[in-house]
Amino acid sequence: MTTSDASALQPQVDHIERLNAAAPQPVAGPKPQVTARAAGVLLLMMIVAGVFAQGFVSNRLISFSDAAVTANNILVNRSLFQISFTVYLIEMACQIAATALFYLLLSPVSRNIALVAAFIDLSASVIKTMSRLFYITPLFVLSGTNALNAFSADQLRALVILLLKINASGAAIAVAFFGMSGFLNASLIFRSTFLPRALGILGMISSAGWLRFFYPPLRYPSFMFIVVCSLFVAAVEIFWLIVFGVDEERWKERYRLTTQAP
């Protein structure tokens, strides 16, 4: 090719380069469908773990009104009690992982709000995880440790109930924080355009119920209604995330606008 030929082709090459520069660039970053479905799976695992540890183990073994029965149940079902503690930790691990995924999924809507929600959620996870130390400690108290020989059997049983009540109170505090982060995430879902607004509305209603745990006297009225409502909303959200995911094109558009913002 001669120099004159190259000069003749140069305008066409420049035109093609300008077209390529103007064309939408492929989105680099999280894959929204994979992120949404992974978040849905983690939420499902978290709920299953929580229902097993709380509903099928803790509620059956612990009676706050009878220290002797509680102590006997823990000792007779030692292995089951230890398993429930492990399941509680798995629940929190799933919660922390889901927090990260929801931040990736919702940050294109508002990075600042998504970040605040993630930090509140992580704080709640830390509170609840630390509370579980008081859940497993009664097993050591009842195991005949020499350091506790100065206490009578009745005193040890009373100490067990106290530790379990601290565990329950710590979990209730965490729930209040989860309600706040859940409300923020639900508001982002409502504004997102790549997830149904109905999911956001349901999420805000459900999360508002848990905000009552910031004031202890409001915890117990209509408690079962809040639990049932939250489980229903969680089931709908999990189903949507796993089966339908997100509107990928709209998510990519929001993500592109976020990454291109000055």
For the stretch 37-49, pLDDT in tens is 999 999 999 999 9
- Would you say residue 18 lies in a domain? no
Is there a domain that residue 2 lies in? no
Tokens of 44: 């499902």
- CB-based burial label for 120 (10 Å; 0-12, 13-18, 19+): buried
> Is this structure's pTM higher than 0.75?
yes
Q: At what angle do helices 67-76 and 111-141 cross, to 10 degrees?
A: 90
- Specify whether the CB–CB gap between 41 and 242 falls below 8 A: yes
> What's the pLDDT tens digit per position in 193-221?
999 999 999 999 999 888 888 887 766 65
For residue 5, tell me if it sits in a domain.
Answer: no
Q: Which two tokens stand for residue 42?
A: 């983690």
Whether the Cβ atoms of residue 181 and residue 124 lie closer than 8 Å to each other: yes
Give a yes or no: residue 14 inside a domain.
no
Number of structural domains the chain divides into = 1
What is the predicted pLDDT for the residue at 225? 82
127 occurs within a structural domain: yes
The answer to whether position 13 is within a domain reads: no
With residue 35 as reference, give the H or E element that holds it.
helix 32-50
Type of residue numbered 146: N
Quote the mean pLDDT of the chain.
87
15, part of any domain: no
pLDDT for residue 151 is more than 70: yes
pLDDT confidence tier of residue 27, bands split at 50, 70 and 90? very low
Q: Are 21 and 231 in contact (CB under 8 A)?
A: no
In a domain, 6, yes or no: no
Question: Could you tell me if 79 and 97 are in contact, meaning their C-beta atoms sit under 8 angstroms apart?
Answer: no
Q: What percent of the chain has pLDDT over 90?
A: 69
CB 148 within 8 A of CB 177: no
Mean pLDDT of 127-146: 90
Give the residue numbers spanning the domain of 52.
30-260
User: To 5 degrees, how large is the angle CA 113–CA 118–CA 121?
Assistant: 125
